[in-house]
Amino acid sequence: MSIKPITKRSSQLPRKTAIAKKVTGKSRKFAQTRFVLVANLGKTQTTSSCPRGPWKYSKDFLIGMLKGKCLVGNAADDVRLLRYRSAMPVLLNLLKDKNVKSRARASVILAIGRLHAPRYGKSFSAKSAVPTIISYLKSSDADLRRFAATALGDIGDKRGLPALKKFLKTKPKLSERMAAELAVTFIVDAQKEKKTRLKKKRAELVKLYTSSIKDKKVKQAVAMLIGSKDWARRGDGALLLKRIAWMYKKHDEIYNTSDKFKKVLPAIPALVKALEDGEPIVRMHTATALGVMGTAAKRAVPALKRILASKAVYPSVNKEVKKALKKIQAK
């Protein structure tokens, strides 16, 4: 929806205080009117950092006002109501700025919470601001405390839970207590939803990586490696695959066949996936298992080389990765 700017000159506009009283919408519909009023408020400012001249897009204008620290509170409210998520980096910078006034800072905090949307990318995530927002629960300003609690609930980060519970023990005012209690509920629900989502994702991955595996023992080991939420069990899954591969390989050497070892090969994609695990011990055992498989695990070479090239230094992991690469690339 395109909005036409008010064509009156600054001298013909009502006083800034009168306009500010009109800037009170809480829905997207009223936000359009709010924007036009704030835009004209911006034109009445004498600060050189405020956006000037003709403007075409409300998003650019409002973000320009935030960058120029011009009517920060009103601009932050409009950005929040109009859901302009691209303003998140600017809002995060304003939160660190000590020169922003208390009321404007409260609007910035509320906007950060409402615009938090990590599914659109890291630049839209407000998790980096959580420690700063938590610190405002101890502020002397009631609005800052209330909006900080609301923002923590909107972000849903578990780091905010202990701080909010501690804040509730201080017996805050009714409005602050309600905001904090609601935030606690939101965070608890968000954590439950996250666990359910991860559980579902793990189940889908297990189904994906075990669909082509016929051997029962290999299938169970892959399910442990990919599907377990416990890092120790994931490590045990990798070790189990290593032992199975070694036993099947020895069996084929003794009986001069290749039937048994072929049953382990469908587990290689799962092992390659496990090299991305966040736990070093899981990566170490996975690399060992791939080394036992030898030249049959050539598709794991790029993933193993990425571990060696990464900045994270784990001597035991790197040692097993080098051994695995030597065995896989052996002629």
Instruction: Enter the DSSP assignment of 50.
Output: S
Q: What is the three-state SS of 58-126?
A: HHHHHHHHHHCCCCHHHHHHHHHHCCCHHHHHHHHHHHHCCCCCHHHHHHHHHHHHHHCCHHHCHHHCC
CA 44-115-29 angle, 5° bins: 60
**Is 212-328 the same fold as 10-195?**
yes
d(CA 221, CA 120): 35
Find all residues with CB under 8 Å of 227, minimum gap 6, and list them.
202, 203, 205, 206
Domain boundaries along the sequence of the chain: 10-195, 212-328
pLDDT band at 304 (very low <50, low <70, confident <90, very high): very high
pLDDT confidence band for 50 (50 / 70 / 90):
low
> Bigger pLDDT: 311 or 286?
286
Identify the weakest region by mean pLDDT among 40-49, 73-82, 92-101, 210-219. 40-49
User: Looking at the predicted structure, is the pLDDT value of residue 54 above 70?
Assistant: no
pTM for this predicted structure = 0.53
115 backbone dihedrals φ, ψ, rounded to 5°? -90, 0
Residue 241: predicted pLDDT: 93
The superfamily (CATH) of domain 10-195 is: Leucine-rich Repeat Variant (1.25.10.10)
Per-residue pLDDT tens over the stretch 127-179: 888 888 999 898 888 888 999 998 898 888 888 889 998 998 888 888 888 98
How far apart (Å, rounded) are the C-alpha atoms in residues 252 and 117?
53
212-328 has which CATH code? 1.25.10.10
Mean pLDDT of 184-208: 84
Query: How many CA atoms, within 13 angstroms, populate the side-chain half-sphere of residue 73?
Result: 14
Does residue 26 have a pLDDT over 60?
Answer: no
For residues 234-244, average pLDDT: 92
